[in-house]
């Protein structure tokens, strides 16, 4: 690519905004503090920064991401409205554009059509893709037709930039002005506005870059997405990215009880107070099987590379455990499908039939769990032999 072609493909407005806000935070704010630090009400502006960071950050993770992109739950109109307003303060485009890009990312992960393809480099996945025009040109919003039916989403798509500027920059400046006058307005703009924006930006960007580079893959290695508990701490739970790519419609990212996922907890609270419903959850058995299949792939790779022969008895125990597990898994899937079909056709199914099918599901769950325990025992034995 020659320099002229490169320059034609730069999104200059985006680039200037991203670089300008970053420089303002790292250079402009320290200079301002050096000159006026003694006059700044740090409790006020620190509180505004935290409040705006949580509001805009959660509006991206809960609203733009899990609600609108993945439809992982239903939300009442006040929840949708607030996430659209404060999502705009992240200045990451409208919900419609954001969701379109994100759905293409999941459909084409690590391929050329992935908007923030990590295969094109860490910086590209982090923020370079925002600064450059797509190779194939701007993509039409044909994959978000469902969202276009929401009048709130349509309104935000038209006015997101104005909303983002007024609420994201204007509100912190106004609060500062009302309390401290001119110095307060400047402090609010720089701390609760610009610096908060940069923090939210890179919180989001690191999911696309770092969580496709560092971490582990407990559920699948079919794409580059990785789990990172460290990133989860800074991204409202979005760091469990390997789980998310394997089960993208689940409202949870941190599925284990001990995993830090404030977005999940917020959605759960919204459900309890009647402002969220139809939370989508992947069955525990499906998640556990994904972990097992990933371990099986890892073991198979290690066996191929193993130079010395492994005890035939140990390998046979593991192979038999795999076969038993596969049969139990198939039986559980079949029973679950039968039960779900009967529930959907409840007018044609008697209560006795539904009860019988539910009991069948419960029985296959017990058998599957038992097969899992046997598999884990055989797996541990094989791992010990492999060293």
C-alpha 230/C-alpha 222 separation (Å) is 22
Q: What integer pLDDT is reported at residue 180 of this predicted model?
A: 93
> In terms of domains, do 329 and 238 share one?
no
Average pLDDT of every residue of the chain:
92
For residue 277, list its beta bridge partners.
Answer: 74
CB–CB of 192/45 below 8 Å? yes
Q: What integer pLDDT is reported at residue 213 of this predicted model?
A: 97
Asked if the model's pLDDT at residue 222 lies above 80, the reply is yes
Which one-letter DSSP state was computed for residue 222?
S
CB–CB of 63/95 below 8 Å? yes
Averaged pLDDT, 168-195: 97
pLDDT class of 309 with cuts at 50, 70, 90: low
C-alpha 229/C-alpha 216 separation (Å) is 10
Residue with tokens 């001990």: 258
DSSP track, 339-376: HHHHHHTTTTS-HHHHHHHHHHHHHHHHHHHHHHHHHH
Q: What integer pLDDT is reported at residue 355 of this predicted model?
A: 84
- Residue of higher predicted confidence among 335 and 20: 20
> In terms of domains, do 51 and 92 share one?
yes
> In terms of domains, do 56 and 163 share one?
yes
Instruction: Tell the burial category of 206 from Cβ atoms under 10 Å away from its Cβ (0-12, 13-18, 19+).
Output: buried
Which tokens is 108 given?
Answer: 């084409």
C-alpha 328/C-alpha 336 separation (Å) is 12
Q: How many structural domains are present in the chain? A: 2
**Who's near 269: CB < 8 A, 6+ residues apart?**
none
Containing structural domain, residue 362: 284-386
Q: What integer pLDDT is reported at residue 387 of this predicted model?
A: 65
Q: Closest by alpha carbon to 49, among 234, 176, 141, 165?
A: 176
The last residue of one of the domains, among 232, 249, 277, is 277
> In terms of domains, do 265 and 297 share one?
no
Alpha-carbon distance values, 299 to 212, 317, 371, 378, 381 (Å): 23, 14, 18, 12, 12
The last residue of one of the domains, among 277, 301, 325, is 277
Percent of the chain's residues with pLDDT above 90: 74
**Who's near 166: CB < 8 A, 6+ residues apart?**
none
C-alpha 277/C-alpha 261 separation (Å) is 18
Q: What integer pLDDT is reported at residue 6 of this predicted model?
A: 79
Q: How many other CB atoms sit within 10 Å of the CB of residue 192? A: 27
Q: Closest by alpha carbon to 228, among 254, 202, 248?
A: 254
Q: What integer pLDDT is reported at residue 162 of this predicted model?
A: 98
Asked if the model's pLDDT at residue 307 lies above 70, the reply is no
> In terms of domains, do 147 and 78 share one?
yes
pLDDT class of 379 with cuts at 50, 70, 90: confident
Q: Assign 254 to helix, strand or coil.
A: coil
The last residue of one of the domains, among 277, 310, 342, is 277
> In terms of domains, do 213 and 87 share one?
yes
> In terms of domains, do 251 and 305 share one?
no
Q: Closest by alpha carbon to 66, among 203, 243, 252, 245?
A: 252
> In terms of domains, do 214 and 294 share one?
no
Per residue in 152-175, pLDDT tens?
999 999 999 999 999 999 999 999
For residue 10, list its beta bridge partners.
Answer: 132
CB–CB of 192/205 below 8 Å? no
**Who's near 329: CB < 8 A, 6+ residues apart?**
285, 289, 368, 371
pLDDT class of 139 with cuts at 50, 70, 90: confident
pLDDT class of 4 with cuts at 50, 70, 90: confident
pLDDT class of 311 with cuts at 50, 70, 90: low
Averaged pLDDT, 189-204: 98
Q: Assign 72 to helix, strand or coil.
A: coil
Alpha-carbon distance values, 301 to 20, 204, 242, 305 (Å): 47, 34, 20, 7
Asked if the model's pLDDT at residue 140 lies above 90, the reply is no
CB–CB of 106/248 below 8 Å? yes
> In terms of domains, do 357 and 239 share one?
no
Per residue in 44-103, pLDDT tens?
999 999 999 999 999 999 999 999 999 999 999 999 999 999 999 999 999 999 999 999
> In terms of domains, do 66 and 82 share one?
yes
Averaged pLDDT, 199-227: 97
> In terms of domains, do 8 and 153 share one?
yes
> In terms of domains, do 254 and 306 share one?
no
Backbone angles phi, psi at 50, to 5 degrees: -65, -45
């Amino acid at each position: 690519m020659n320099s002229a072609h490169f320059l034609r493909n730069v999104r200059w407005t985006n680039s200037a905004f991203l670089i300008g806000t970053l420089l303002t935070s790292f250079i402009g704010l320290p200079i301002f503090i050096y000159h006026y630090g003694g006059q700044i009400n740090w409790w006020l502006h620190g509180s505004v920064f935290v409040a705006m960071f949580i509001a805009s950050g959660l509006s991206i993770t809960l609203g733009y991401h899990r609600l609108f992109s993945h439809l992982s739950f239903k939300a009442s109109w006040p929840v949708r409205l607030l996430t659209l307003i404060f999502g705009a303060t992240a200045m990451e485009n409208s919900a419609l554009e954001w969701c379109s890009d994100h759905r293409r990312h999941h459909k084409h992960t690590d391929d050329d059509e992935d908007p923030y393809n990590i295969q094109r480099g860490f910086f590209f996945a982090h923020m370079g893709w925002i600064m450059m025009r797509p190779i194939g040109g701007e993509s039409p919003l044909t994959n978000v037709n469902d969202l276009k039916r929401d009048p709130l989403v349509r309104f935000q798509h038209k006015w997101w930039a104005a909303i983002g500027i007024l609420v994201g920059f204007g509100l912190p400046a106004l609060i500062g002005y009302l309390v401290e006058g001119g110095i307060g307005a400047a402090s609010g703009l720089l701390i609760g506005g610009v610096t908060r924006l940069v923090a939210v930006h890179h919180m989001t960007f690191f999911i696309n870059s770092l969580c496709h580079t560092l971490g582990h893959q407990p559920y699948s290695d079919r794409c580059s997405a990785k789990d990172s508990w460290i990133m989860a701490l800074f991204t409202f739970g979005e760091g469990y990215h390997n789980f998310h790519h394997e089960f993208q419609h689940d409202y949870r990212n941190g599925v284990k009880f001990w995993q830090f996922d404030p977005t999940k907890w917020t959605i759960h609270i919204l459900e309890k107070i009647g402002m969220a419903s139809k939370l989508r959850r992947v069955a525990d058995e499906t998640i556990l099987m994904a972990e097992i299949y990933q371990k099986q792939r890892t073991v198979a790779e290690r066996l191929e590379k193993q130079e010395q022969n492994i005890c035939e008895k140990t390998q046979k125990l593991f192979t038999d455990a795999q076969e038993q597990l596969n049969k139990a898994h198939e039986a559980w899937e079949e029973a679950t499908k039968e039960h779900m079909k009967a529930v959907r056709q409840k007018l044609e199914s008697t209560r006795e039939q539904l009860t019988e099918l539910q009991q069948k599901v419960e029985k296959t769950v017990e058998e599957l769990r038992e097969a899992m325990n046997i598999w884990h025992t055989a797996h541990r034995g094989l791992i010990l032999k492999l060293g």
